[in-house]
Amino acid sequence: MVILYDRYNLPEDIFEIIFSTKQQKIVAKLLIRYMKENGREIGKTEMSLFATKLHEGELISVLDEAPFKGKKVKISYNKRQFYDRILTPMKSMGMVNYDLYTKKYKISNKFNKDMMRIGLMWLQEIEKPVYDLEKGKK
């Protein structure tokens, strides 16, 4: 997944930086809230139930998004798209971790560690000496 952002117009909400649509942002926030409510981890069955509720439009939540702020709203999102566009990118970026042995999804801090590592990679890049292509040396 590619994250493009404008550092001069950085939104307050991390989900706005990561997800391209408002609906994806809402669903990702709901997933993290659901996981927090369940001890920061959920099993495969709970994840499937969450995705099914979304798919069938049975998930009801109070949103903090305008024009729905403070209102109970039914949320609907395709199950396959939930796994493809929400959960899989969150796993690949290190926001959510799946443990194969315990069969649990957990909120992870690997995303933060990777962002710090990327920042260090940039610092190393700008400190590298210039390579002269014509002479073949630095």
Kindly report the number of other CB atoms within 10 A of residue 23's CB atom. Answer: 15
- Mean predicted confidence (pLDDT) in 96-100: 96
* Whole-number Å distance between alpha carbons of 15 and 19: 6
Tell me: pLDDT of 4 over 90.
Answer: no
Burial 81-118 (b: 16+ CB within 10 A, else e): ebeebbbebbbebebbbeeeeeebbebbeebeeeeeee
Q: Are 84 and 96 in contact (CB under 8 A)?
A: no
Half-sphere exposure of residue 67, counting CA atoms within 13 Å on the CB side? 0
Domains of the chain: 7-108 (1.10.10.10)
Question: Rounded to an integer, what is the distance from CA 92 to the centroid of its chain?
Answer: 9
- Mean predicted confidence (pLDDT) in 92-117: 96
What percent of the chain has a predicted confidence (pLDDT) above 90? 72
Name the CA dihedral angle for 77, 82, 87, 89, rounded to a multiple of 10 degrees.
Answer: -110
Residue-averaged pLDDT of the chain? 91
Per-residue pLDDT of 51-64, as tens digits, reads 999 999 999 888 87
Per-residue pLDDT of 65-89, as tens digits, reads 777 778 888 999 999 999 999 999 9
